[in-house]
Amino acid sequence: MRALILNSGLGHRMGALTAEHPKCMTEIGGGDTILSRQLRLLVAAGVTDVVMTTGYYDKVLVDYCQSLGLPLTYTFVNNPEYAETNYIYSIYCAREHLGGDDILLLHGDLVFGAYVLNAALTSKRSCMTVSSTAPLPEKDFKAVVHGGRIEKVGIEFFDSAMAAQPLYKLLWEDWQVWLESICTFCESGKRGCYAENAFNEVSDRCAVYALDVKDALCAEIDTKEDLEMVSNKLKEQEEKTVYICFSTDILHGGHLAVLNKAAALGRLTVGVLSDSAVASYKRYPLIPFEERKALLENIRGVERVVCQETLSYKGVIDELHPDIVVHGDDWREGFQKPLRDEVIALLTEYGGQLVEFPYSSDEKYREYEKRARMELSLPDMRRGRLKKLIAMKGCVNAIEAHSGITGLIAEKTTVLQEGKTYQFDAMWVSSLCDSTAKGKPDIELVDMTSRFRTIDDIMEVTTKPIIFDGDTGGMTEHFVYTVRSLERMGVSMVIIEDKTGLKKNSLFGTEVKQTQDSIENFAAKIRAGKKAQKTQDFMICARIESLILEQGMEDALTRAFAYTKAGADAIMIHSRKKDPAEIKEFIAKFRDKDKTTPIVLVPTSFNTVYEEEWKALGANVIIYANQLTRTGFPAMQNAAKLILENHRAKECDDVCMPIKDIITLIPEE
């Protein structure tokens, strides 16, 4: 994209204001001239090449452009006959520099808002700015529009016409047609007319569409009255408040470009998503909120930075009432669409405006994000994240994973509800589900080497923290090695239960023979584990089986305090009753004496309580321990039956996930 700015004209209607320099150098307030403002906006919009035709005060203009120090590459082309010809001839003089690329064509005396420039630049088709709300001007350009397309442009048309301004974005295929016509005109001596006369001859082959900018600022300055009107409008515009929200923790050139564009629209407030909001929708932030805030506060054009607590903009919009909200156009589809709809509805209430810029899908930016995700999956980064998430959110949730694919489901499943995104914080590698997946009973039969293999499979394709079901932890002499291995792998927490001998799944309760370990033995195991661990991050959670084995509340509490005293980083209390009463009682009594040690729950049986209530009661980790296994295997059984019953696979197809969905679930590296 190249900009062509026409600056050869005399500007004699401006009187003394243009006595010593071209019209484009006229001051319009805020320290800007018409030209410096145009060029600044072009830079902000990412344009780097400018072809400028000159004439009157040629050298003054060239020196002025250089003095602005903007990151632009200029090609100046002088029209030696500027006094006798019109800009059609200036374009002709510059023709060698105008080939092979889309072009943004504008007159040097045009003042427009950043919004107008953005709309033109992002148009997928060739376009010319028009206004359906402005009155038809007596002497200036009007465009005859049919079916959205510009048929003719000139000062003489009044029927089916709209006020038009000479700001065009032209795709190369359209510009080529118009440029050829300009050349034909000039070579046959027609050099005193408008370039638009040449357009009118070929408009059937040159598909330029009307871009209706309505009341947005887009005006040529021909007289002192025009200048005053535009200067006032600019002042008004500069007072506009603009809001943009940033969720990112990796700031790159693409973000800076958007910030630049947003700042060009008015006084810019940047919202920074809180850590928990980022973690809920994207991934755990690599850089914490305070630092992300400080980073943005130090970027030019950013007036202030505020915290946006939720993905929904409602709180911020209600408080700030920004005139303009800016966002990338990527949220028109997908899970962010409801957020966009909400923003539009809120802005409509008070006449605010949404401005969307094209989302940068630059490969290198995607690469940065990929690298950040990769870092999160490394053992040192992953291990400590559970503790941080508990501290940040108060209460986290985890779902079981027993393979790479269930790990991916735990990692990627996202739900958007009322402007909030929900996803799981962590994964639970359950002994029940790991054993079941291998067709074995949950009796510590699947050995640690095999269990570690499962962890490896999950870790390879995910980034979320892992809580490992360590069963009884085995013999203390073995447990210390398990702790070190898990820690080295990047697991965040191991949960061991205070049972001994042949372990059976707790959900059998007293239906099978199960023996609880002595407090002394189990406390010694915890102490040994804590002593063996190398990092501060790794957590050992003591799981109390007293309620499962009907040993009573007192026994459960005595054990809980003994285990925390032995060094347990968290307590898990389990129950197989449907009624959550005994769990609630335990939490209340434990919290009476211990306000901080995290409490872990596995509400498989007592599943009626919502997470928010558990959090309010004082629980910190909620584990959905086996739901993927309990839904996955019956679905497979059903598919197998359907095939046997029908003697073919067609009937089974209705219950099958489309292959395409499987492919998108599993990313290719």
- Contacting positions for ligand SPV (CB under 6 A): 430-432, 442, 469, 505-507, 602, 604, 625-626
Strands laid side by side in the 241-246 sheet: 302-308, 267-273, 241-246, 324-328, 353-357
Structure tokens at 614: 């558990």
8 binds, among Mg ion, ligand SPV, none (CB under 5 to 8 A by kind): none
Give the range of 135-143, 410-418, 468-476, 583-591 binding Mg ion by CB under 5 A. Answer: 468-476
The 354-383 site mask, x for binding Mg ion (CB under 5 A), equals ------------------------------
Rule CB under 5 A: say whether 434 interacts with Mg ion: no
CB of 577 to ligand SPV, least distance (A): 12
Q: Which residue is nearest to ligand SPV (CB)?
A: 430
Residue 222 or 469 with smaller CB distance to ligand SPV: 469
Q: Which is nearer to Mg ion, 237 or 431 (CB)?
A: 431
436 binds Mg ion (CB under 5 A): no
DSSP track, 447-477? -HHHHHHHHHHHHHH--S-EEEE-TT--SHH
DSSP calls for 577-646: -SSTHHHHHHHHHHHHH-SSS-EEE--SSS--S-HHHHHHHT--EEEE-SHHHHHHHHHHHHHHHHHHHH
Place of tokens 């600019």: 234
CB of 390 to Mg ion, least distance (A): 21
Smallest gap from Cβ 508 to ligand SPV, in A, equals: 9
The two structure tokens encoding residue 147: 């079916």
CB of 528 to ligand SPV, least distance (A): 21
Three-state secondary structure call for residue 502:
coil
Least gap, CB of 478 to Mg ion (angstroms): 17
- From Mg ion, ligand SPV, none, which one binds at residue 604 (CB under 5 to 8 Å depending on kind)? ligand SPV
Q: Count of CB atoms within 10 A of residue 553's CB?
A: 14
Nearer to ligand SPV, 303 or 550 (CB): 550
Centroid of chain to Cα 138: 47
* Spatial distance between the Cα atoms of 129 and 146, rounded to a whole number of angstroms: 15
Q: How far is the CB of 620 from ligand SPV (least distance, A)?
A: 17
> Which of positions 103-162 make contact with Mg ion (CB under 5 A)?
none
> If contact means CB under 5 to 8 A according to the sort of partner, which of ligand SPV, Mg ion, none does residue 260 touch?
none
The closest alpha carbon to 524, from 555, 479, 469, belongs to 479
Nearer to ligand SPV, 18 or 431 (CB): 431
The listed partner (Mg ion, ligand SPV, none) that binds 274, CB under 5 to 8 Å by sort, is: none
DSSP 388-430: HHHHHHSSEEEEE--SHHHHHHHHH-EEEETTEEEE-SEEEE-
Q: Least separation, in Å, of the C-beta of 394 and ligand SPV?
A: 23
- CA distance to 260, 585, 616, per residue, from 612 (Å): 40, 17, 6
Least distance (Å) from Mg ion to the CB of residue 622?
16
Q: Could you say whether residue 249 binds Mg ion (CB under 5 A)?
A: no
260 lies in the site for Mg ion, by CB under 5 A:
no
**Measured from the CB atom, is 5 or 432 closer to ligand SPV?**
432
* Alpha carbon distance 54, 7 (integer Å): 5
- Point out which span in 316-324, 429-437, 528-536, 660-668 binds Mg ion (CB under 5 A): 429-437
Closest C-alpha among 239, 237, 98, 85 to residue 180: 98
Measured from the Cβ of residue 639, the count of other Cβ atoms closer than 10 Å reads 16
411 binds Mg ion (CB under 5 A): no
Per the listing, tokens 């211990």 go with 594
Ranges of beta strands (E only) in 200-312 are 208-212, 218-220, 241-246, 267-273, 302-308
Instruction: Work out whether 444 is an interface residue with Mg ion (CB under 5 A).
Output: no
Report CA-CA distances (Å) from 174 to 86, 92, 147.
22, 16, 17
CB nearer to Mg ion: pick between 326 and 432: 432
Q: Is the dihedral of CA 635, 638, 640, 642 positive or negative?
A: negative
DSSP H helical segments within 151-252, as ranges? 172-187, 195-202, 224-238
Region from 116-124, 351-359, 463-471, 599-607 binding Mg ion, contact rule CB under 5 A: 463-471
If one asks whether residue 487 binds Mg ion (CB under 5 A), the answer comes out as: no
Which of 108/470 has CB closer to ligand SPV? 470
Decide if residue 85 touches Mg ion (CB under 5 A). Answer: no
Q: Which residue, 179 or 601, has its beta carbon nearer to ligand SPV? A: 601
Q: By CB under 5 A, how many residues form the interface with Mg ion?
A: 3
User: Based on CB atoms, which residue is closest to ligand SPV, 3 or 398?
Assistant: 398
The interface mask with Mg ion, positions 161-200, x = CB under 5 A, is ----------------------------------------
Question: Shortest Cβ distance from residue 548 to ligand SPV (Å)?
Answer: 8
Binding-site partner at residue 514 among Mg ion, ligand SPV, none, CB < 5 to 8 Å by type = none
Strands, DSSP E only, in 236-334?
241-246, 267-273, 302-308, 324-328
Residues with catalytic roles: 442
Partner whose footprint covers residue 245, from ligand SPV, Mg ion, none (CB < 5 to 8 Å by kind): none
Q: Which does 276 bind (CB under 5 to 8 A by kind): Mg ion, ligand SPV, none?
A: none
38 binding Mg ion? (CB under 5 A): no
Which residue from 18, 197, 248, 431 is in contact with Mg ion, where contact means CB under 5 A?
A: 431
Decide whether 277 or 539 has the Cβ nearer to ligand SPV.
Answer: 539
Q: Is 565 helix (H, G, I), strand (E, B) or coil?
A: helix
Give yes or no for a contact between 463 and 376, defined as CB atoms under 8 angstroms apart.
yes
> Nearest approach, Cβ of 431 to Mg ion (angstroms)?
3
Report if residue 454 touches Mg ion, rule: CB under 5 A: no
Q: Choose the one of Mg ion, ligand SPV, none that binds residue 411, judging by a C-beta under 5 to 8 angstroms depending on kind.
A: none
Identify the bridge partners of residue 496 per DSSP, sorted by sequence position: 542
Q: Is 346 in contact with 317 (CB distance < 8 Å)?
A: yes
Amino acid at 178: W
> Taking CB within 5 to 8 Å according to partner kind, which of ligand SPV, Mg ion, none is near residue 564?
none
From the list 355, 350, 134, the residue with the least C-alpha distance to 264 is 355
- Residue 557 sits at φ, ψ, to 5 deg, of -70, -40
Task: Give which of ligand SPV, Mg ion, none residue 625 binds (C-beta under 5 to 8 Å, depending on kind).
Answer: ligand SPV
Beta strands 73-78 and 49-54, pairing class:
parallel
Q: Does 626 engage in binding with Mg ion (CB under 5 A)? A: no
Q: Which is nearer to ligand SPV, 264 or 625 (CB)?
A: 625
Instruction: Tell which residue, 364, 368, 330, 362, has the closest CA to residue 248.
Output: 368
Using rule CB under 5 A, residue 469 touches Mg ion: yes
Q: How far is the CB of 357 from ligand SPV (least distance, A)?
A: 47
Residues found near Mg ion in the complex (CB under 5 A): 431-432, 469
